[in-house]
Structure 1
Amino acid sequence: MLASTVVLAGCIGNTSQPVRVPPSSDSTTNTATTASKTFAIGEEATIGGIVHKVVSVQQMDVIPASATLPEWEIIAEDTPAAAGFTWVHILGEVTNTTKEPKTLTSTGVYISDPDGNQFEVSTDTTIYVDSDKSPIYISLQPTQTIEWDGYFQVPADTTDLILVGNDLSFLPEGEVRVDLGL
């Protein structure tokens, strides 16, 4: 019954996005299994058999046309962040050490600020990211490590950003945090 309630709550308001319970909430399921350590860029952060690693982070106001993939060069153009926002470009890796296939989606990695605001990977940057590296949807087999590449829009005046990665379960039971140095 609990799973039905959570799934239905995520569908309210004509959204297909699952509802995430912020770590500061009173949900005992989420807070009891959330890793308390904050990892650094380059460190491996493990939760529930999934290893997350941030390889590099870059902040920019404009994604330059020069970042466009070769197959999209005909429509290459600079892509500025929305007014009051900035882009955060992250290259990451995820490893599945479980015995079951997993799927990395936009709910598996996201940026969070100190107020608990959550920023998902942009779906408007497909001309800059190979589809097999976009953390919108990547299949991950047991023992497999994949690289991912994502652009996130965050408020320009936000500081102390972290990348949150979870255990890639349908109803995540834990998460790790990586300090982005921004």
Structure 2
Amino acid sequence: MFRTALRQLPTTTRISTTSRAAAQLQTRKAHAISNPTLANIEKRWEAMPPQEQADLWMALRDRMKVDWNELTVQEKKAAYWVAFGPHGPRAMPPPGEGFKVFLYTMYGIAASGVIFGSVRYFARGPPDTFTKEHQEASNVYMKGQNIEPITGISSEGYIGKGMVATTRSSADLPKKAEE
């Protein structure tokens, strides 16, 4: 409806209407923010409600769109502090937080040590295959079966230890509880 009415207007009227509206939009400037609003913003920012913080930030943002030479010193300081000040995620940790982190870390390490020790205490002993005698018997069996004849234990001139990986004999191991 509105379009058809605009089409029917003479072209000179349409151009002047649109240019007047554009001129009004272009000449609009953001007005300076009052000093009481910006005074002591560093101390008041955390106590301000989120809506008031957002309104102030939007006003500062609109104000920063004009030439920066037109901004007052108070507005420049407030804009910098709101953008980069030590609040929110950039706030300094409260006093004693480092000690709390250290203390809880030590609690975690102590708890993991207790869990590790209790698991080791209640676990079964090492299997029979961990004894030196069993591993030497495995070497004899491998030589008898001619296992790995090219580079392994059955090859000519082999000087390695074979399957022996431990120095503990069966006498060194704790006795297994009979099940």
Structure whose residues are more often strand by fraction: 1
TM category (shorter chain) comes to: under 0.3
Structure whose residues are more often helix by fraction: 2
- Which protein has the larger Cα radius of gyration, Structure 1 or Structure 2? 2
TM-score, reference length from structure 2 = 0.19
Higher relative contact order (CA 8 A, sep 6+): 1
